[in-house]
Homo-oligomer: A and B are copies of this chain.
Amino acid sequence: MKVIIAGHYITQFGELWSKSLIDLMREAIKGAIEDSGLTETDIEAVFVSNMGSGQNDNQLHLGALASQMISGYPAASRTEGACASGGLAMIAAEQALLSNQYQTVLVVGVEKMNDADSSLTTKYLAAAANYTTESGSTFPGLYAILANAHIKKFGTTRSQLSAVAKKNHHHGFDNSQAQYHKQLTIEQISNSSLVADPLRLLDCSPITDGAAAVVLTTKQLKEQKRKRASIIGRGHGQDSLDLANRRSLIELDATTKAAKQAYQMAGLTSGDIEVAEVHDCFTIAEILAIEDLGFFKKGEGGKATEEGQTTYGGKVVINPSGGLKASGHPVGATGVKQIAYLAKLLEEKKFTRALAHNVGGSGATAIVHILSS
């Protein structure tokens, strides 16, 4: 049974001081339903992705809040898995469809991060790690460990890390909804202030407010003017939360597991993918991702990026939206936005095969989706 992306919508990403969690969620829900050409009463269930509204807004039960924005109070729930919440909510929605419980559902991801002071935000992002062993680390600190392992093993360079950020800011420049529209030079990135050696400020994705939604259906849609994208592969990999228990620090096993499942289900290999939104919470995360997803050999992701293989004209276009780095990373929205953004590119006939890759924590959870035009 095919899951069709009937509609999609992404709000502006950024520091949205005049918009609340509820404003963003409502805008994305209404936008995706309108884009689908369906009506609110066609939506049988709503799946909400969010990480931190409990801590940030003292608001839980977001499923019920989303449900009351849609006529007829569809069945609702919220899925959380740190920064992979969006991918997990997508999986939950797809399984609900494939179980024949529903024929049309909506997934909305939302995060309102800028109302909290930065100490709270830092604290709540750390809630994605394991409090028994890693509570002293910040997220940049964990990814710095992964970066150092990669540098030591493969000689990945400062310029290669910067090339990831430069390329994503270049891509984001053309995405009107991206948080940043600023092109950066390698020098600016390489000389930005140190956060967790070797990661610098411009290696890191920002704190972002935003929401994204998709309408998924297994029904044949009447209106055929537009060729909608379908989900043809999905995978879900899991690994230890604690870096200390990982098999490897130069590879995210959760990603390789998820990718293998998704390629197998789609009947494709990495070579068939033309475009991908990958989880570049830090520049090193994109290098790991493009290797672990099979686009480049292990250890060659930095070099490939520097050589232009991950932008238009190269082997595979990585993060055309600007990725988490330039488009922004409203945590619960990210995994849904990746799918929404790719669905739009496929509908515009810019590509025919796309991949979305969403990671939670420092690699404990990974979700891969493959989309086809």
Using A54-B55, A241-B68 as known contacts, say yes or no to A236 and B75 having CB atoms under 8 A apart. yes
Q: Which among A60, A65, A124 has the greatest number of chain B C-beta atoms within 10 A?
A: A60
In the complex, chain A residues 139-187 whose Cβ is within 8 Å of any chain B Cβ: none
- Alpha-carbon separation in the docked complex, A215 to B123 (Å): 33
Size of interface on A: residues with Cβ below 8 Å to B = 60
- Alpha-carbon separation in the docked complex, A128 to B75 (Å): 16
- Alpha-carbon separation in the docked complex, A96 to B81 (Å): 17
- A230-243 vs B, Cβ < 8 Å mask (1 yes, 0 no): 00000011111110
CB distance from A9 to the nearest CB of B (A): 22
Kindly state whether residue A22 has any CB partner on chain B within 8 Å: yes
Chain A binding site: helix, strand, loop or mixed by DSSP? mixed
In the complex, chain A residues 78-118 whose Cβ is within 8 Å of any chain B Cβ: 78-82, 88, 91-92, 94-101
| A22 pairs with B81, CB closer than 8 A | no
| A76 pairs with B68, CB closer than 8 A | no
Chain A positions within 8 Å of B, measured between CB atoms, are: 22, 45, 51-52, 54-55, 57-65, 67-68, 73-82, 88, 91-92, 94-101, 123-124, 126-132, 236-242, 245, 254, 360-361, 364-365
| A61 pairs with B361, CB closer than 8 A | yes
Chain B residue nearest to A245 (CB atoms) is B68
- Alpha-carbon separation in the docked complex, A128 to B54 (Å): 9
